[in-house]
Amino acid sequence: MSSFILPSLIFSPLLGVVILFFLSKNQEKAIKIVGFLATLPSLLLSLFLYVQYKAGTELSDFAIKEAWFTFGNLKQYDPKLFAVDFELALDGFSLVMVILTAVLSTLAAIASIHIKKEWKGYFILFLILQVGMLGVFTSQNLILFFIFFEITLIPMFFLIGKWGYLEKEKAAYSFLIYNGLGSAILLIVIMVLFARTGTSNIEALRYIMTVGGVSLIAPISGVMKYALLIALLVAFGIKLPIFPLHTWMLRVHVQAPPSIVMLHAGVLLKIGAFGLIRFGMGIFPQEFQKIAIYLAILGVINLLYGAFLALIQTDFKMVLAYSSISHMGIVLIGVGALNEAGIQGAIFQVVSHGLIAALLFFLVGVMYERVQTSSIDRLGGLAKIMPLTSGFLLAAGMASLGMPGMSGFVSEFMAFLGLFKEEPVLAGIGAIGIILTAVYLLRAVLGITFGTAKQPVPLPAEKSDIRAIEMAPVLVLLLLIVLIGVFPSILSGPLQGAVEAIMIGIGG
Amino acid sequence: MMENAWIIPLFPLFSFLFLLLFGRKMKESSAYIGMMLTFVSLLYSLLVLFDRFTAPTYKAEATWLTIGDVQLTAGYEVNQLNALMLVIVSLVSFLVHMYSKGYMHGDERFPIFYAYLGLFTFAMLGLVISPNLLQLYFFWELVGLGSFLLIGFYFFKEEAKQAAKKAFIMTRIGDVGLLIGMILLFWQVGSFEYDEIFKAVSAGDISAGMITLTSLFIFVGAVGKSGQFPLHTWLPDAMEGPTPVSALIHAATMVAAGVYLVAAMFPLFSASDTAMLTVAVIGGFTAIFAASIGLVQKDIKRVLAYSTVSQLGYMMLALGSAGYAAGVFHLMTHAFFKALLFLAAGSVIHAVHTQNIEEMGGLWKKMRITGPLFLIGTLAISGVPFFSGFFSKDEILIATWEHGNFGLFWLALIAAFFTAFYMFRLFFMVFTGESKSNHSNTHESPGIMTIPMIVLGILAVISGYVNTPWFGTFLGDWLTEGNEALGHGHIEGPAWIMIAATAVSLAGILLAYLVYGKRSVSRDFLGGEASTMHSILYNKYFIDEIYQFTIVSITKAISLFLSFIDRFVVEGLIYAVTGVIRRLGKTGSAFQTGQVQQYGMAAFLGLAILLVIFVLTGGYIL
């Protein structure tokens, strides 16, 4: 029975795709309901997994492994050689990511009520995107990972290009080019590893690289390891994004529809962090240790660069886009610290920023629906006409700037705790970012909600505040943010094993 | 009782959550929820305090977060300082809850106001029972959030928006210092617990340099929160908040959190002479610096705000001069008389609808309760004998003198003169002389507002007697009992200090009377409003402007510069790359001539190159 869980979790959204095919494209309501419902099985199953995990079931019980295909006819030498299995499994880290993905997918499906056209195509792509994201976090070999990784790209391209704002095409192409480039580099890394070791299984690769003593098809020299690791960093660095590979992501944040940005900022960017930790740190721990300091420096650069630029943006969406860059700097800082506190902080930040970014972009969507702009220069005094929305926006801003009691604080704190142990001076410089974050977020949030309206905007009619259905995602996200902020052990529990495994790899 | 002290902060938290959810329906009866719940907290705090008189310190903790093999804990502790703070906070909070019922009457967002008050009270109570630095920081920030929300309560006012933003950011600058300090300390000690830290300090496990460094960083946090120079500028602006808030947060409790922090970390600070001297100098300087600004301000709340900054400076001066008990004592008396002054000022503002003291006058006859109460507060803060401020200020002066900070002692004495002068200037301008406004219906505030003021008025008189050189220094002895690191509860000093302090305060009052009461000395006796000195003081030494031209401008310049980089260098690089690729493609297409020989040639050459590489490397590069 347990062997069905993971495949159903990942592929159940396809059921929705099938049903959508049979709906006429004008049945807006039905399409939206089906789209929403199709995200639910994954959500329920992922929560079920969490409950099972809490009850003491080993996560490895849910792993599945089926022979899939092999390259060449090498069975006579070694049945495993160049064989690619269809293998899915979970550990604490991936469980957390799967839950994050499932929750955000459902909420983004609710946020899709603001989509104005061609709902059928939209939801088909949306659900395929969800399959890709869920697959990425559960794949146990690099080839399968790569396939799911690619599955996320294509729907994303169309979702941005078709349902986005004014400059959507440019944003979509920009997205495709950068991410295509990243994929190509990733593919090269995977192929080199595969060709020289004969396996793409992540566990096997980790063993080969760290323990060694396995005869390989061809040796991998020390220099080659560094080259592969750096290629991985570039590939995932584009995704995260790391300065200076970030410009595509700004366009996506601003141009894509808010429901899609929720997934993009909430989950897709996190694949970069996931890959960095899982593959970079997992497969090349020794080499990773050597370059960790540079990652920490890049992290501080990301943090400050994003913050300084967020400070002078006039469009709220741009503020949030640069803020994402800045917050991903925290992930790099934690990863670069390369100790328990840092790594745990990095993973916390992945989850926390996923929730907070989704919340912020959802609220942007709610606001844009009513006032047709997100320009800070034009807006003002929204608290008067939209008190609840404004209150939520303020709460989301507080979460983003790391207010204790909310998840952002825990992750920021741990990442800095980690870096202060290793590089106190660098961490001290990075700490300036904590101040800047407060400055740009308050400037933007207060600029929109406090004061009085600066320019006449198409003011919504009375009773234009957030509706009940829109309130659901907000409350769920806020609840999760506060829950993690007050009881971080609900998150650190599942992560413990994964973090320990990484630390053993590093030899710490 | 102490075993259950954790429940004290939860009542106001419940008030916050409840009013957030149901406040809209409750309307102004929200006040009763808030009052009732803070009253329970107050009762409980009193019980805990009485319990603490006879029982030893109580502490309980549980794991909050595990990092590797380190367990970070959360819990609560009731020691002397905490128990005292619990009572001060819950008492002032309760009185402010009560007072606000009258003051905020008719406000559209009345329930939200009470919800925010609940949030703040929760955070402040949580702060004072924290047994470790991490938890303190947690509530430290939440307290700041409460303050921010309440300063910005009138969100539609541009000034309120700016003030709220400024308060948040300025204190956050300090908070980052605290964060750095505590993390550095953590990696020295392996724990955030106060006990563990002090144990490591006394055992000499931390190098002297590290003690100084970490205590200075922690002090930065205290400077931000307690409005000490140079991070003081947010506090006067915070007066944009409703006046009851100014009384609770920006006078009695939150701004005292910085002083509390230094007091709570006193064993760390006292282990470093540099740190102690820094605290004393910053405190002493702030005391006279803010007092001098207070001399010329025209807004009743701003005068009080600068006097708060100045009085907090006194407390820092005391702590930095090893006068632990003196600092905490003044924290307590100040909480009472400053809350009283603010509430009385609120009562005045409520009656005359202006904050400009130039437009006030002759209110003594019209406000028969507020007037005398304001006078009590003024006498207390001025250090007139027999009032509470007299005793606590005296302790501070003695501590400063005995610690050998003679320069700072004289500064503090001059500041005391200033204090008496500007406070009585305020009193005479508001309550005596001719009535300037044509508000014929100026009336005394309702009982719900005057009762809290009367309670505070009584405390402003009697609270000094818990620690006097005449009848016994009960408070000081109790506070320092069983802990050598905190020094003596009472420091003996020369008797002339008390006489000198009395003399300067009476001199200040006399001068104020001559200028503003009797008007026998011209207001311009020192040059008047046209003088440069007046302009410098009135503009608060142009500190805001200096910040504007330095830090703010530099930050903006960096942002613009990076924006330029982002737009031209980063994007440009990408255009360059795509350009090169396009060029390559063009060059490549030039080879598509259609001549088969040429294709064959290319294919052959390519194969040859590949073969050479294969032979040389054995098939694998690297």
**CA-CA distances (angstroms) from residue A77 to A70, A82, A85, A209, A217?**
13, 11, 17, 22, 12
Residue B214 is predicted with a pLDDT of 94
Residue of A nearest to B158 (CA): A451
Residue A481 is predicted with a pLDDT of 95
- pLDDT band, residue B576 (cuts 50/70/90): confident
Query: Percent of chain A scored above 90 by pLDDT?
Result: 56
- pLDDT band, residue A456 (cuts 50/70/90): low
B165 vs A contacts (CB less than 8 Å): 442-443, 446
- pLDDT band, residue A361 (cuts 50/70/90): very high
B10 vs A contacts (CB less than 8 Å): none
Contact, B227 vs B314, CB < 8 A? Answer: no
Task: Fill in the DSSP letter of residue B5.
Answer: G
Domain-embedded: residue A220: no
- The minimal CB distance from A446 to the residues B142, B165, B570 is found for B165
Average the pLDDT over A474-478 and give the result.
94
CB contact under 8 A, B67 and A417: yes
Residue A33 is predicted with a pLDDT of 92
Domain that holds residue A476: 287-508
Q: What is chain B's mean pLDDT, rounded?
A: 88
CA distance A38 to chain B (A): 32
B217 vs A contacts (CB less than 8 Å): none
Residue A207 is predicted with a pLDDT of 86
Residues 6+ apart with CB under 8 A from B580: none
The CA distance from B457 to B453, in Å, is: 6
- pLDDT band, residue B573 (cuts 50/70/90): confident
Domain-embedded: residue A197: no
Residues 6+ apart with CB under 8 A from B554: none
Residue A157 is predicted with a pLDDT of 94
Q: Tell me the per-residue pLDDT of B354-406, one tens digit each, with 9 for 90 and over.
A: 888 888 878 888 888 888 999 999 999 998 888 998 989 988 999 899 888 88
Average the pLDDT over A469-486 and give the result.
93
Is B575 at the interface with chain A, CB within 8 A? no
Q: Is the pLDDT of residue A237 over 70?
A: yes
A492 vs B contacts (CB less than 8 Å): 65-67
Is B66 at the interface with chain A, CB within 8 A? yes
Q: Best mutation site among B10, B151, B562 for testing chain A: the one with the most A CBs within 10 Å?
A: B562
Residue B364 is predicted with a pLDDT of 84
Residue B546 is predicted with a pLDDT of 86
CB contact under 8 A, B138 and A196: no
> Among residues 163-182 of chain B, which lie with CB inside 8 Å of chain A?
164-165, 168-169, 172-173, 176, 179-180
Structure token pair of residue A486: 């007050």
Average the pLDDT over B316-321 and give the result.
92
Residue of B nearest to A312 (CA): B559
Task: Fill in the DSSP letter of residue A268.
Answer: I
Would you call the peptide bond into A13 cis, given omega within 30 degrees of 0 as the criterion?
A: no
Q: Tell me the per-residue pLDDT of A242-299, one tens digit each, with 9 for 90 and over.
A: 888 888 899 999 999 999 999 999 999 999 999 999 998 888 988 899 999 999 999 9
Question: B510 or B436, which is more confident?
Answer: B510
Residue of B nearest to A228 (CA): B622
Question: Which segment of A342-346, A400-404, B293-297 scores lowest on mean pLDDT?
Answer: B293-297
Q: Tell me the per-residue pLDDT of B117-144, one tens digit each, with 9 for 90 and over.
A: 999 999 999 999 999 999 999 999 999 9
CB contact under 8 A, A450 and B63: no
Residue A159 is predicted with a pLDDT of 93
Contact, A9 vs A20, CB < 8 A? Answer: no
Q: Is the pLDDT of residue A462 over 80?
A: no
- pLDDT band, residue B622 (cuts 50/70/90): low
Residue of A nearest to B172 (CA): A435
Q: Best mutation site among B136, B184, B553, B620 for testing chain A: the one with the most A CBs within 10 Å?
A: B620
| Pairs across A and B, CB distance < 8 A | 128
Q: Best mutation site among B183, B186, B240, B571 for testing chain A: the one with the most A CBs within 10 Å?
A: B183
The CA distance from B112 to B24, in Å, is: 8
CB contact under 8 A, B187 and A496: no
Is B315 at the interface with chain A, CB within 8 A? no
- pLDDT band, residue B470 (cuts 50/70/90): confident
- The minimal CB distance from B169 to the residues A381, A439, A488 is found for A439
Q: Is the pLDDT of residue A136 over 70?
A: yes
CA distance B353 to chain A (A): 22
Dihedral angle over CA of B585, B586, B590, B592, nearest 10: 40
Query: Percent of chain A scored above 70 by pLDDT?
Result: 97
HSE-CB at A239 with a 13 A cutoff on CA atoms is 29
Structure token pair of residue B173: 């600058």
A439 vs B contacts (CB less than 8 Å): 169, 555
Q: Best mutation site among B67, B69, B145, B555 for testing chain A: the one with the most A CBs within 10 Å?
A: B67
B566 vs A contacts (CB less than 8 Å): 247, 309
CB contact under 8 A, B165 and A442: yes
Q: Which CB contacts under 8 angstroms, 24+ apart, belong to A146-151?
A: A146/A183, A146/A186, A146/A187, A146/A190, A149/A183, A149/A186, A149/A271, A150/A183
Residue of A nearest to B63 (CA): A489
Residue B213 is predicted with a pLDDT of 93
Residue of B nearest to A502 (CA): B68
A488 vs B contacts (CB less than 8 Å): 64-65
Structure token pair of residue B396: 């501070």
B184 vs A contacts (CB less than 8 Å): 420, 424
**CA-CA distances (angstroms) from residue B341 to A402, B97, B391, B427?**
35, 16, 18, 10
Residue A299 is predicted with a pLDDT of 94
Residue B222 is predicted with a pLDDT of 94
CB contact under 8 A, A341 and B66: no
Residue B568 is predicted with a pLDDT of 85
- The minimal CB distance from B559 to the residues A308, A383, A492 is found for A308
Task: Fill in the DSSP letter of residue A112.
Answer: G
Average the pLDDT over B476-493 and give the result.
78
Domain-embedded: residue A329: yes
B176 vs A contacts (CB less than 8 Å): 431-432, 434-435
Q: Tell me the per-residue pLDDT of A144-153, one tens digit each, with 9 for 90 and over.
A: 999 999 999 9
- pLDDT band, residue A218 (cuts 50/70/90): confident
B163 vs A contacts (CB less than 8 Å): none
A309 vs B contacts (CB less than 8 Å): 559, 562-563, 566
- The minimal CB distance from B67 to the residues A224, A344, A403 is found for A344
CA distance B174 to chain A (A): 9
The CA distance from A269 to A274, in Å, is: 9
Average the pLDDT over A449-459 and give the result.
73
Of B299, B365, B385, B375, the closest CA to residue B341 belongs to B375
Residue of B nearest to A432 (CA): B176
| CA A368 from centroid of its chain's CA atoms | 24
CB contact under 8 A, B180 and A428: yes
Is B105 at the interface with chain A, CB within 8 A? no
ipTM of the complex as predicted: 0.92
Q: Tell me the per-residue pLDDT of B33-51, one tens digit each, with 9 for 90 and over.
A: 899 999 999 999 999 998 8
The CA distance from B380 to B424, in Å, is: 11
CA distance A488 to chain B (A): 6
Of B355, B313, B293, B281, the closest CA to residue B542 belongs to B293
Residue of A nearest to B217 (CA): A428
CB contact under 8 A, A492 and B65: yes
Task: List for chain B the helix, strand, coil content (%; round to 5).
Answer: 75, 5, 20
Residue B437 is predicted with a pLDDT of 65
Question: Which segment of A335-349, B416-430, B478-492 scores lowest on mean pLDDT?
Answer: B478-492
Structure token pair of residue A293: 């300091």
Residue A460 is predicted with a pLDDT of 62
Domain-embedded: residue A378: yes
CB contact under 8 A, A431 and B179: yes
Residue B439 is predicted with a pLDDT of 60
Number of domains in chain A: 1
Average the pLDDT over A23-51 and give the result.
91
Of A275, A250, A253, the closest CA to residue A263 belongs to A253
CA distance B569 to chain A (A): 10
Residue A73 is predicted with a pLDDT of 72
- The minimal CB distance from A309 to the residues B152, B179, B562 is found for B562
Which region, left, alpha or beta, applies to residue B443 given φ > 0 means left and ψ of -120 to 50 means alpha? Answer: beta
Q: Is the pLDDT of residue A1 over 60?
A: no
Residue B107 is predicted with a pLDDT of 86
**CA-CA distances (angstroms) from residue B444 to B245, B346, B613?**
20, 11, 99
- pLDDT band, residue A461 (cuts 50/70/90): low
Is B559 at the interface with chain A, CB within 8 A? yes
Residue A421 is predicted with a pLDDT of 92
Average the pLDDT over B227-231 and give the result.
90
Q: Tell me the per-residue pLDDT of A162-196, one tens digit each, with 9 for 90 and over.
A: 998 888 888 999 899 889 989 999 999 999 998 88
- The minimal CB distance from B573 to the residues A227, A244, A344 is found for A244
Question: B161 or B525, which is more confident?
Answer: B161
Residue B619 is predicted with a pLDDT of 63
Contact, B10 vs B25, CB < 8 A? Answer: no
Q: Tell me the per-residue pLDDT of B517-543, one tens digit each, with 9 for 90 and over.
A: 877 777 777 767 778 888 888 888 888
Q: Is the pLDDT of residue B342 over 90?
A: yes
A244 vs B contacts (CB less than 8 Å): 569-570, 573
- The minimal CB distance from B570 to the residues A247, A413, A449 is found for A247
Contact, A314 vs A377, CB < 8 A? Answer: yes
- pLDDT band, residue A464 (cuts 50/70/90): confident
Other CB atoms within 10 A of residue B36 CB = 13
- pLDDT band, residue B482 (cuts 50/70/90): confident
CA distance A486 to chain B (A): 9
Contact, A171 vs A251, CB < 8 A? Answer: yes
The CA distance from B120 to A391, in Å, is: 17
The CA distance from B589 to B112, in Å, is: 70
